[in-house]
Amino acid sequence: MKRFYNAVFIVFILLALMFSVQQGMFEHLTDSNWVAHFIAEQGSFALLVLLAVGALFTAAGGPRQVIAFVFGFALGGIYGGLFSTLAALVGCVLAFYVARLTIRSSLQRRFGLRLQKFEALISDKTWLKVLMIRLLPVGSNLLTNLFAGATHVPARGFMLGSVLGYLPQMLIFSFAGAGIGLSDHHQLGISIGLFILSSVIGAYLYRSSLRKQVDELETEA
């Protein structure tokens, strides 16, 4: 029964990806004016569609900064940042469980030693290690999600570190999008301020006692 549910999950994800590509939704998702017009016309329905498409976009490796900028343009700095962070988190969950439920054994065969090192490095204080990866950032978002799913790393800690690490950068790009969309220098100023703050926090964490482990994470992920 478990295998059946896993198969249904994967088929659903693949069908959703195929539909999104066929309908050109990924292209629309990167078009700020189209997204703003779609939300103005369809309201809550548009938000549900964009959340799903944004999640699929980031799960497939699309840059989350792009959707942060677009949603900031359409929804404003704060709401756009929170909405894009939610979409990125759902995409992270999808990639994580696709790896854990379906291609785990394949990834372990292909990246056996590297996965073991990766798991050893983030199995302790998982949320903090993942937070550092997301803040700096190092490595590939997609590979980090897949690698984590292919190990025994606890999902809760991984997701907590991811969402906390995603949020600052998503707000930065969201406020930038809002500033351009509204021609508001105040919103652009907030974006620059958040960028500086995020850089300071990232630099502090990087220079902490965990620096060596994060350097190793960059190599592995």
Res 149: pLDDT: 92
Packing angle of the helix pair 44-59, 77-101 (nearest 10 deg): 50
Gap between the Cα atoms of 113 and 188, Å rounded: 44
Gap between the Cα atoms of 81 and 183, Å rounded: 18
Residue 218, pLDDT > 60, answer no
Q: Length of the chain, please? A: 221
pLDDT tens-digit map of 116-129: 888 888 888 899 88
Nearest to 64 by CA among 168, 180, 215, 148: 168
pLDDT tens-digit map of 146-163: 999 999 999 999 999 999
Question: What residues make up the domain containing 197?
Answer: 2-220
Res 6: pLDDT: 65
Question: How far is the CA of 11 from the CAs of 5, 38, 58, 102, 190, in angstroms?
Answer: 10, 28, 18, 11, 42
Grade residue 57 by pLDDT with cuts at 50, 70 and 90: very high
Percent of the residues in the chain that have a pLDDT greater than 90, as a whole number: 37
Gap between the Cα atoms of 50 and 28, Å rounded: 10
Domain count, the chain: 1
Is residue 188 within 8 Å of 179, Cβ to Cβ?
yes
pLDDT tens-digit map of 175-190: 888 877 555 556 666 6
Residue 83, pLDDT > 90, answer yes
- pTM, two decimals, is 0.82
